[in-house]
Amino acid sequence: MRIFSKLYIALILSLIYLPMFVLVINSFNQSKYGIKWGGFTTSWYTKLFNNDGLIQAALNSLTVSVIAATAATVIGTLAAVALHRYQFKGKALLSSMVFVAMLTPEIVMAIALLIVFISLGITLGFISLVIAHITFCLPFVIVAVYARLKEFDMRMLNAAKDLGASELRIFIEIILPLILPAVISGWLLSFTLSLDDVIVSAFVTGPGYEILPLKVYSMVKVGVSPEVNAISTLLLVVSLTIVIISQLLIRKDKTQ
């Protein structure tokens, strides 16, 4: 019984990683159609780096993701602290909005934001992308930071307050250092979510502002090609690195 359950775990995990593994291998395959192994090459990557449109889209994506992740982390961290520490009118409303934002299917959020941007007269492009990305990252940051806040001892905050520390000082000198791992992992996860998003971005971007996931999406729709393999591998490596860092942060933090 024991051995069967271990085998089953191994089977599922390898099925999960198999397609990604084949993709990475094929991105170094000289043979254009990936049917047979035609020898090792990095020429698909060279070709990629000479594609100006793709590089521009990647830079645009990085800009949007860094800004969106940073803003979502600031707003989300503050919100998590507020939800954890304070009693205020509308607290239940705020937490239910977080819950709704997290559970709303992306497609619904996408059209809702599109309608808002059009009715507020916000031009579709950079600004609308940043706003949309902050919105779908926000709940994840709040949940991550809130989970961390729940773990630590509240009494030291009361002690600080009794000694006359202001709320801002308590936040900067006590709360922030304690929740920093969760804040950083919140940022990293927002960054990957933003960098990977297709569904919402497809709706809220304008013709003048190309971003990487959408560009890749239009390439991928055509079918398997070596350039797509190469760019997909790069994206995979970027998000894998970030996820591993953030998971290690959480884990290290838990063992302390």
Partner 1 sequence: MKLNNFTFNCGIFKCLAIGLASLWLTLFVFFPSVLVMITSFLTRDPQNTVALPVNIANYQKAFDPLYLQVFLDSLTMSVLATICCLLIAYPFALAISKLDKRLQAIALFLMIVPFWTNSLVRTYAIQFILGKQGLINKALLALDAIDKPLQLMYTQGAVIIGLCYILLPFMVLPLFSSLEKLDSKLQLAAQDLGANAWQRFWHITIPLTMPGIVAGCLMVLLPSMGMYYIADLLGGAKNLLLGNVIKTQFLNTRDWPFGSAFSVLLMLLLAFMLWLYFRAAKFANKQGGLGDANF
Q: Residue 93 interacts with partner 1 (CB under 8 A)?
A: yes
Locate tokens 């007269």: which residue? Answer: 121
C-alpha 83/C-alpha 91 separation (Å) is: 7
Locate tokens 């926000």: which residue? Answer: 138
C-alpha 119/C-alpha 7 separation (Å) is: 55
Binding span for partner 1 by CB under 8 A among 38-46, 54-62, 110-118, 157-165: 110-118
Phi first, then psi, for residue 14 (nearest 5°) are: -70, -35
Of residues 17 and 49, the one with the C-beta less far from partner 1: 17
Q: Which of 55, 154, 156, 240 binds partner 1 (CB under 8 A)?
A: 240
Contact 226, 27 (CB under 8 A): yes
Of residues 183 and 235, the one with the C-beta less far from partner 1: 235
Q: Which of 42, 47, 59, 82 binds partner 1 (CB under 8 A)?
A: 82
Q: CB-based burial of residue 23 (10 Å sphere; 0-12 exposed, 13-18 middle, 19+ buried)? A: middle
Q: Residue 98 interacts with partner 1 (CB under 8 A)?
A: yes
Q: Which of 166, 176, 245, 252 binds partner 1 (CB under 8 A)?
A: 166
* Number of residues this chain uses to bind partner 1 (CB under 8 A): 89
Q: Which of 138, 145, 179, 182 binds partner 1 (CB under 8 A)?
A: 138
Q: Residue 3 interacts with partner 1 (CB under 8 A)?
A: no
How many CA atoms does the CB half-sphere of 65 hold within 13 Å?
Answer: 24
Provide, rounded to whole angstroms, the least separation between the CB of residue 153 and partner 1.
20
Binding span for partner 1 by CB under 8 A among 43-51, 55-63, 108-116, 155-163: 108-116
C-alpha 29/C-alpha 18 separation (Å) is: 17
Q: Residue 100 interacts with partner 1 (CB under 8 A)?
A: yes
Q: Which of 59, 108, 154, 159 binds partner 1 (CB under 8 A)?
A: 108
Q: Residue 37 interacts with partner 1 (CB under 8 A)?
A: no
Structure tokens at 9: 């775990």
The DSSP result for 97-164, as a single string, is HHHHHHHS-HHHHHHHHHHHHHHHTPPTTHHHHHHHHHHHHHHHHHHHHHHHHHHS-THHHHHHHHTT
Q: Residue 48 interacts with partner 1 (CB under 8 A)?
A: no
Structure tokens at 227: 């350039």
Binding span for partner 1 by CB under 8 A among 43-51, 56-64, 92-100, 156-164: 92-100
DSSP state of 40: B
Q: In the stretch 202-231, what mask flags binding to partner 1 with x, by CB under 8 A?
A: xx---------x--xx--xx-xx---x---
Q: Residue 245 interacts with partner 1 (CB under 8 A)?
A: no
